[in-house]
Amino acid sequence: MSGELGYLGIGELQALYRSRRVSPVEVMDAVLERQERLEPRLNAFVTVLADPARAEARAAEARFARGEASGPLEGIPVSLKDIIDMAGVRTTAASRIWKDRVPERDATVTARLKAAGAILFGKANLLEFAYGIVHPDYGQVNNPWDTSRTSGGSSSGSAASVVAGIGCGSLGTDTGGSIRIPAAYCGAVGLKPTYGRVSRRGAGNLSWSLDHVGPLTRSVDDCARVLQVVAGHDPEDATSSRAPLPDYAAGLTGDVKGVRVGIVQEHLGPDLAPDVRTAFDAAMRLCADTLHVGECSIPLIEYADSALFGICLPEATVVHERRLSAHADDYAPMTRAQLEMGALVPVTDYLRAQQFRTLLRAEVDRAFERFDILAMPTVAFPAPAEDPEFGDAEAGASEARRTGPYDVTGHPAISVPCGFTGEGLPVGLQLVAPAFREDLLLQVAYAYEQRAGWFRMRPPLD
Amino acid sequence: MDGRIVDVDSVRAAVRLSGLGLSEERCLALLQTLAPMLDGIARLRDLDLQEIEPSGTPDPAGVSCDEARR
């Protein structure tokens, strides 16, 4: 029973709550039972808030009984990547440095989830400070489809837990692909919104000009509902946008006839695993039934790795500089090395990377003059045994090669499941939209998802 | 390893990293291990970017910069 309740979507649960056929208490109990049972295999959570979550569920049940439940996520179990602040609950960032850090304020996104009625039941495991490496104190999050492999990163616990039926959604962060990469490895839906669309206040700064906060869910519909709640202007985030907020879920009709999809040729390079290429090609053939699918070229993508690292390394070092001086030995060795290396990037290279960002953004925008949506595989390969180090110029760069460019430019991007390898590992399809067109991005992703049906697959955990 | 980085930036690095309390040996060890990434970053020097204004944040629609200026 816990499996069935754990896999219901937000819309389904709310209908069941309103008709009093299922109670938020039953759902919360099922989610917590599932979390406890699967945790030894997944290692997806740093902190579980079982008692407060059950109390919230009882309060939600009472609101439904009185007909007073009005929040868009009323009684819906949601987790937070443990780099996003929740008042009174420790935020560890999966690091020894923050093992006892308890914030006094909610992050803006946390406050919005609470106001919408979501039940925040846990803080999900991640790579240390979202910087690409597992800290040994916290350990790797294992992939629900093959627990001998990684869930990816850095929002690893977020992706693994939602795919395992532990919560309807989780909020993650994405600096070079940290929402979309684990989404691809685990078969989740992961959306990195436009830079400025979702507030970053209280969501653990890694690299201020690359960081994005966004949802990981099992379906595009759930993704739209969570995004709706957390998106929108925040006066406490200087880079937050006042761009109008559409009704994302209302646009999910499945009708996307005539939308032009451009396959970015530079993302079909020789590093693509054959099974990934096969799944991607099949997805594009399915899309071609209703959409105009064509070839698109963004030659500057070749240099996007350089810009990603040229910006992320020094910004992360500046963010961590004081902690690094005082507690260097408490970081995982490779996190420490990457942070120290950021001090070696000449300021001229940092500024050159920012100049390149101007060029790349313009070139991607030019691609959107011919196409409404861009498409490519999310990652070149399926989940490996361990996460490639971000600082690894080959494997680390290859993992983020198709996600990082859109952190650099800030365009919104989503990963949706598009099939499996011969070994039974999920493959992700990435779609990219013009700035602030998350509505179109979700519409196309939804239409594909409903036709392909991969999102209905469940990992072999029960 | 790219000669530019070993010869010039390693010295610069030793100076800079002394602010983090690191030894010169540690700085050079970092360069040995992580030089390929620094070489990758240095690839941007191959592009002619001199007329291009840098973007400090992505700000894709030019909206958030307007906000920051207010």
- The pLDDT tens digits along chain A (462 residues) read 556 899 999 999 999 999 999 999 999 999 999 999 999 999 999 999 999 999 999 999 999 999 998 899 999 999 999 999 999 999 999 999 999 999 999 999 999 999 999 999 999 999 999 997 999 999 999 999 999 999 998 999 999 999 999 999 999 999 999 999 999 999 999 999 999 999 999 998 999 999 999 999 999 999 999 999 999 999 999 999 999 999 999 999 999 999 999 999 999 999 999 999 999 999 999 999 899 999 999 999 999 999 999 999 999 999 999 999 899 999 999 999 999 888 888 889 999 999 999 999 999 999 999 999 999 999 999 999 998 876 666 666 689 999 999 999 999 999 999 999 999 999 999 999 999 999 999 999 999 999 999 999 999 998
3-state secondary structure of A461: coil
CA separation for the pair A192, A175 (Å, rounded)? 9
CA separation for the pair A129, A143 (Å, rounded)? 20
ipTM, 2 dp: 0.84
Distance from CA of B60 to the nearest CA of A (A): 6
Residue B11 has pLDDT above 70, yes or no: no
Helix-strand-coil split of chain B, %, nearest 5: 70, 0, 30
Amino acid A201: pLDDT: 97
Contacts of A413 in chain B (CB under 8 A): none
Is B30 within 8 Å of A196 when comparing Cβ atoms? no
State the DSSP code for A86.
B
Is B30 within 8 Å of A344 when comparing Cβ atoms? yes
How many angstroms separate the Cα of A119 from the Cα of each of A5, A55, A112?
15, 9, 12
Retrieve residue A372's tokens: 């409404």
Peptide bond preceding A154 in cis form (omega within 30 of 0): yes
How many angstroms separate the Cα of A399 from the Cα of each of A68, A267, A375, A377, A418?
46, 12, 17, 11, 18
Residue pairs spanning A and B at CB distance below 8 A = 156
Is A324 within 8 Å of B20 when comparing Cβ atoms? yes
Amino acid B68: pLDDT: 44
Is B60 within 8 Å of A436 when comparing Cβ atoms? yes
Smallest Cβ–Cβ distance between B60 and the set A240, A394, A409 belongs to A409
Contact between A39 and A47 (Cβ < 8 Å): no
Retrieve residue A336's tokens: 């420490």
CA separation for the pair B67, B70 (Å, rounded)? 5
Contacts of A411 in chain B (CB under 8 A): 58, 60
CA separation for the pair A80, A34 (Å, rounded)? 17
Contacts of A195 in chain B (CB under 8 A): 57-60, 64
Contacts of A242 in chain B (CB under 8 A): 63, 67
In angstroms, how far apart are the furthest CA atoms of chain A? 62
Q: Which uninterrupted H or E stretch holds A413?
A: strand A413-420
How many angstroms separate the Cα of A339 from the Cα of each of A22, A23, A329, A344, A407?
49, 47, 12, 10, 19
Distance from CA of A340 to the nearest CA of B (A): 7
Nearest residue of B to residue A310 by CA position?
B41
Q: Where are the alpha helices (DSSP H) in A2-66?
A: 2-6, 10-18, 24-42, 50-66
Query: Sorting pLDDT into bands at 50, 70 and 90, what band is B36?
Result: confident
Nearest residue of B to residue A318 by CA position?
B20
- Which residue of A194, A331, A344 to mutate against B (max B Cβ within 10 Å)? A344
Distance from CA of A136 to the nearest CA of B (A): 21
Smallest Cβ–Cβ distance between B40 and the set A195, A240, A309 belongs to A309
Please give the full DSSP string across B5-38, using - where no structure is assigned: IIIIIHHHHHHHHGGGT--HHHHHHHHHHHHHHH
CA atoms within 13 A on the CB side of A292: 7
Q: What is the pTM of this model?
A: 0.95
Retrieve residue A337's tokens: 């090395």
Is A306 within 8 Å of B41 when comparing Cβ atoms? yes
Nearest residue of A to residue B47 by CA position?
A356
Three-class DSSP labels, A147-159:
EEEECCCCCHHHH
Is B64 within 8 Å of A310 when comparing Cβ atoms? no
CA atoms within 13 A on the CB side of A311: 30
3-state secondary structure of A344: helix
Which residues of A are marked as active site?
A: 81, 154, 178
Amino acid found at A150: T
- Which residue of B18, B31, B33, B41 to mutate against A (max A Cβ within 10 Å)? B41
Amino acid A395: pLDDT: 66
How many angstroms separate the Cα of A20 from the Cα of each of A15, A24, A62, A443?
9, 10, 11, 31
Q: Closest Cα to residue A178, out of A203, A199, A202, A159?
A: A159
Nearest residue of B to residue A207 by CA position?
B57
Q: Closest Cα to residue B19, out of A257, A225, A340?
A: A340
Distance from CA of B8 to the nearest CA of A (A): 10
Is A344 within 8 Å of B52 when comparing Cβ atoms? no
Contacts of B34 in chain A (CB under 8 A): 337-338, 341, 344, 391
CA separation for the pair B37, B52 (Å, rounded)? 24
CA separation for the pair A220, A230 (Å, rounded)? 15
Pairing mode, if any, of strands A142-143 and A119-124?
Answer: unpaired
CA separation for the pair A157, B22 (Å, rounded)? 34
State the DSSP code for A249.
G
Distance from CA of B23 to the nearest CA of A (A): 12
Distance from CA of A254 to the nearest CA of B (A): 27
